[in-house]
Structures are given as C-alpha cells and as structure tokens.
Amino acid sequence: MSTMMDSSIELLSPAGDRERLEAALQYGADAVYLAGTSFGMRTACKNFDPDALRSAVARAHSLGKKVYVTCNTLPRNDEVEQLPAFLEMVDDVGADALIVADIGLLPLVKRHAPHCAIHASTQLGVVNYATASMLWDLGVSRVVLAREMSLEEIAALRAKTPKDLELEAFVHGAMCMAISGRCMFSYYLAGRDAGRGDCSQPCRWGYEFVEPHRPDRVMYAEEHSKGAYLFNANDLNMLEHIPALVKAGVRSFKIEGRAKAPYYVAVITNAYRQALDAFKASGCAADFVPEPWILQEANKVSHRPYSTGFYFGQPTQNNAFGGYVRSYEVAAVVTDYRDGRLWLRQRNRFFEGETLDALIPGGKPQLIPAIDLRDENGSPIEATPHPDMVLSMACDHPLPSGSLLRRERAEDITTA
C-alpha cells in the first residue's frame, strides 16, 4: 500500500453540548459536528443556541479545528420558511460546513450561507458514484456515505467520482437497523419521529409474540429469558481496520455519539487519535494494527457488542440483548495540580487505596493509586461519597486538567 496518510485524514467527533465539545477538542478531534436548536437530528442532547454556537466555533477555530453544523432533518413546508434565518445565523458565526439531508435545500444554503461548505448527510443514503457525482455538480464538497456500504463499494465509488469530492464515513458508534437511520418505527410505536431527531429506539426493545386465540401464551422468536431483540444492531468499531478504510478512499473518520456522555467522546476520540497518529508514523503500513492498549480503550466505554457493520460484506450485527456492556466508570476529573497533589471533582464514589486508571489527553493511560485523599478543606477522607465533591490526592507527577480518573467495575450488561 502506498503512502496515503496526510493532513487530509480528518478525525471527526460528536459534540452534543459544550462539555462534549471540550472533550472532543482536548482529546484530539480535528473537527466536530454539532447542532443548533433546530433542524438537527438529535433532540436528546442540549445542542447550541446562537450565542453558544458562536462561542463553540470561536473555541474550535482558536485551536485550528473545524465545526460542522447539522441541518439534517427533512423540513416540512412551514419550516422551510424558517430556514433562511437559521442558515444566515450559521454562516454569520463562522461555521465551516452545513450537513444537509435534503437536496432541495442546496440552493437555500448557497444563497443564505455562502461561506459554508456543504456536506451531504448520511440521511441522503448515497451508495453509488452517480449520486455522489451529481451532488458534487450541485455544489456539495463532501458526501457522508450511507452506513450500508462495503469498503469494496466505497473504493468503486471513489474511483468514479471527482478527486476533490471528500468522502466521510462512520467508523465507530451506534448503528441503526434502518437504511442510514431513515426509519418510522419509533413514530409508529411511540409517536416520536426519528427523522426529526426524537427516536425512542424501539429497535433496542425486547419483543414477545401472542397468538390471538391463545392470549395467555407468550412466545419468543428465540429462546431467551428476556425476549427476542429482533432489530437491535451491534455497535460499530473499526479501530483495527484503519488501513482498509484509507485504502478505500475514506478521508474523514466519523465517530457517532452526539447524545453520548463526555467521557465516551473523550475515550473514543483519544483512541482513534492515537491510532491514526501511529498509522501515520508507521508509514501507512498496510498491515498496521494499533497497540493493544488502544484497542482496549474501546472496551472502557459503555457499548453494545462490537462489529464491523457492513464494511466487509454481509454484517453480523444483530445481538441478542438490548443493553450495554459497562466495565469502567469515571471516578473523578482532574482540575489542577499543586504542591504534589491532584485536585479533582468527583464523578463516582471511590475509596482510599484503589488503583485508578488515568486517561490523559494525547497519551497512554496510567495507573495511579488513590492515596492520601483529602476533602476541599484538607481533612483526610477514606472515600468520596458526595456527588461532584471537590477533593485532592497525593500524586508524584502532574496530570493535565481534563484528565479522567477511571475505576474498573465488575463488567455487567444492563438493559437499555
């Protein structure tokens, strides 16, 4: 494989609010994608009002990083009239691109947000070179590929599209049983429209069957004490397959998860940052695989069982339960280091004498003993029972602010 890694390889992380934005930026994202308070397909996160969006863009740009704003719902007739003001606001705050799911909006974006690049959302379901090329002709500079494409199909698309058209693909996070998330299941069952950012995730629910003439007899589609999970997709994890993604022509590695916790954003962003940097340092070796500690990081966040989705052909992506694997939790966030002590803000209870796993921005995790714990007044304590309490502990070397101290817990699987 020839050297293909250069500055055009982008690590793109989710930012559902300011805390997640800071986690993405601090832990190595080249760009973030986020939403305003309308026209974005995630209602479960706080998102950004105009002032917050302006501040977010300024913060990212001060670090040499980019901000892409989602406009990926399908606006109804009455909402189209509201779009010009929204687009003008996004353009005015200096966002780098708009992610658009409706091709009818392209003229509006060009007219009202002329300084923003246009990215075609995965919601458009682009799976072939004809559509990708047409979008390029219409002014789209990047296509976010449908999640149902194989690497072979992506390579074929890349070979038959303009070389300056950028290809973005999801590399990590939750997958959807519908075609690139275009699903009405939630709306039918719960009255919550996934296409407008309000999915209740009924594909993650367990289901039972009842035959009308035998209403007292519950049947399962498979033998399982908690029912059958018919539509529940595994999470995507492509950490081990960076060379294959790059060879196929993917130039923006997208992490799913605007509604995920800041901890998730930090851990997964850091893992892919370290993997991509190591890949570059290897000379873009075709047989590159990240170090084991990097691969292990993906298991230190709450996740469903992993798979490679559709990238290598037919997926094996449905799992038999509706919950998450959780084996680590955040104990505390580092806020300062003074006089041989780490100052912390508690996130979960931990105890004197525990060994904590420190996640450091831009580096390999370190094991640190929790010794000489003291509350904010300097009084010795044996545990940290109060949520969000301020405390300190002895440490013989500094850790940067924003580092996360984690504790291992008995691995469990909990229902969604």
Strand ranges inside 211-297, DSSP E: 218-219, 235-237, 252-255
Strand ranges inside 114-157, DSSP E: 117-120, 142-144
In our burial notation (b when 16+ CB lie closer than 10 A, e otherwise), range 185-215 reads bbbeeeebbbbbbbbbbbbbbbeeeeeeeee
Q: Are 125 and 180 in contact (CB under 8 A)?
A: yes
Give, in words, the CATH class of 10-175+235-309.
Answer: alpha beta
Residue type (1 letter), 171:
V
Cα–Cα distance between 198 and 232 in angstroms, integer? 18
Q: Are 324 and 264 in contact (CB under 8 A)?
A: no
CB-based burial of residue 65 (10 Å sphere; 0-12 exposed, 13-18 middle, 19+ buried)?
A: buried
pLDDT score recorded for residue 2: 39
pLDDT in tens, 82-112: 999 999 999 999 999 999 999 999 999 999 9
In this prediction, the residues of the chain whose per-residue pLDDT falls under 70 are 1-7, 40-45, 177-189, 191, 193-198, 200-209, 219-231, 315-322, 410-416
pLDDT score recorded for residue 216: 78
- Per CATH, which fold does 326-414 belong to? Elongation Factor Tu (Ef-tu); domain 3 (2.40.30)
Cα–Cα distance between 121 and 142 in angstroms, integer? 9
Cα–Cα distance between 238 and 172 in angstroms, integer? 6
Cα–Cα distance between 80 and 166 in angstroms, integer? 27
Let me know if the fold of 10-175+235-309 is the same as that of 326-414.
no
User: What ranges do the domains of the chain cover?
Assistant: 10-175+235-309, 179-219, 326-414
pLDDT score recorded for residue 207: 64
At what angle are helices 18-26 and 262-281 packed, to 10 degrees?
20
pLDDT score recorded for residue 213: 78
pLDDT score recorded for residue 1: 37
Sign of CA dihedral 163, 168, 171, 177: negative
Cα–Cα distance between 255 and 409 in angstroms, integer? 25
